[in-house]
Amino acid sequence: MPELPEVEVTRRGLEPLVGATVTQAVIRQPAMRWPIPAHLPQTLHGSRLLELTRRGKYIIARFESGCLILHLGMSGRLCLLERDTSPEKHDHFDLHFADGRVMRLRDPRRFGAVLWAGEHPEAHSLLSVLGPEPLDESFNGEFLHRAIRTRSSPIKIVIMDSHLVVGVGNIYASESLFRAGIHPQTPARALSLAQCERLVQEIKATLHDALQAGGSSLRDFFGADGNPGYFQQTYFVYARTGEPCRVCEKPVETLRLGQRSTFYCPSCQK
């Protein structure tokens, strides 16, 4: 599933559309995770795209007529294409712009979403419950230490909770915990303030490095321009079961937490 870096890379790839005017919205398959609103062709026609922002794993497209919330789901891609690019089997939604470009949602599993949020997307039920952005200053060691002091769940599960902090999915949780030297099964409330400060630092650094590398390309993810990301080439532990740790050369191990595979080094993470 695309995580925060992949969504941010996609958002940046679509930014050339800002300022362009919609000439046509095409709904080929409305039955996504939630139905694509049938009024979008009328609502968006002639409306100019004012800005593209991101909240967690959601892209918010603000038009003169209101806001779209876009989510990639498990296998979705938002592609920036030329007008004469023929749609393929899993191309479910298009926005055509007056400059000749098309934003197209391609989603084989149809777990993605195209939702209308009107003038106030922050009040939408999907966004209003989200925690702080991990790269914002408000997400710091003191905040994390206070937020987890009564939580006994494994720290890996806790930092993946979008109510606590958004966008730290399975890949980047495993990588950040390795960099911080914290075992993923450690009860969250057992972490000291110093450990929380280190973990926040490594979450930010890991996400920053992933953004610089264009995200991770696993299975379905490619950027809006069709280019893959390269962060997977530098993973310390994720998907490296049995391979030598890049630091101590002990084999990387796997366990299941929250029904997700969790990768760690038993020597480097205590």
Q: How many CA atoms lie within 13 A of 134 on its CB side?
A: 31
Q: Which residue has the tokens 């720290």?
A: 155
Ranges assigned E (strand) in 72-192: 77-82, 91-97, 101-106, 113-118
Catalytic residue among 3, 6, 8, 175: 3
Catalytic residue among 12, 33, 189, 260: 260
* Cα 160 from Cα 174, distance rounded (Å): 10
Choosing from 54, 55, 57, 198, the catalytic residue is 57
**Whether residue 3 lies in the annotated active site:** yes
Q: Is 252 strand, coil or helix? A: coil
Round to whole Å and give the CA distance between 36 and 237: 38
Is 2 catalytic? The answer is: yes
What are residue 40's phi and psi, to 5 degrees? Answer: -60, -40
Q: Has 57 been annotated as catalytic?
A: yes
Task: Give the H/E segment covering residue 195.
Answer: helix 193-212
Tally the C-alpha atoms within 13 A of residue 221's C-alpha that lie toward its C-beta.
Answer: 23
Among 15, 114, 14, 30, which Cα is nearest to 69's? Answer: 114
Q: How far apart are CA 215 and CA 3, in angstroms?
A: 8
Residues designated catalytic: 2-3, 57, 260
